[in-house]
Structure 1
């Protein structure tokens, strides 16, 4: 699967490596082209997954991706797989097979 912004792939991974949570595909950190993302000051705390860190695309747009660096243990149990540091994308990023 591929996460693309414009004509550039931000992430590429086999579908079996991804995790689906609440309608969002989460890509493993090793599949991310980190040179395209930079840390954002935006923070968010999900009531059941914990605190998320956001990332902006280098040069914009802002806050196109997020990850739970240390998800709550109950969230990992609920999902059935550790998704720490896995990255999900907002709707400006196209996810395709």
Structure 2
């Protein structure tokens, strides 16, 4: 699977975890050269999500990457993984 935005592959892995229709990629597969800090947080049944923003080819996509540093026990499989939204395409 690949996560692509603005013509750039942000993450690529054959080891994704599918939860609620979202592919969670191993954190190590994320190209951090395109990410920047975000102080945005949200909460769900999975726990508290933290976000990263994207800066690719001069375009900014705020809070387009999320992860759960300490997911609730039922969602332990997504610990150490990142997911994408806000126009990031997930393709095989």
Give the TM-score, by structure 1 length.
Answer: 0.85
C-alpha separation between the residues in 1 aligned to 2:73 and 2:37?
Answer: 24
Match of 1:38 among 36, 49, 53: 36
1:55 aligned residue? 52
Runs of 4 or more off by more than 3 Å in structure 1?
Answer: none
**Greater strand share, 1 or 2?**
2
Give 3-state SS (helix, strand or coil) of 2:69's partner.
Answer: coil
Is the Cα contact below 8 Å between 2:43 and 2:49 reproduced in 1? yes
Measured after TM superposition, the shift of residue 74 of structure 1 is 2.7
1:79 aligned residue? none
Give the TM-score, by structure 2 length.
Answer: 0.90
Gaps of 5+ in 2: none
- How many residues of Structure 1 are paired with residues of Structure 2 in the alignment? 89
C-alpha separation between the residues in 1 aligned to 2:88 and 2:64?
Answer: 7
C-alpha separation between the residues in 1 aligned to 2:48 and 2:13?
Answer: 24
RMSD over aligned CA atoms reads: 1.2
Gaps of 5+ in 1: 77-81
1:95 aligns with 2:90: yes
Is the Cα contact below 8 Å between 2:66 and 2:83 reproduced in 1? yes
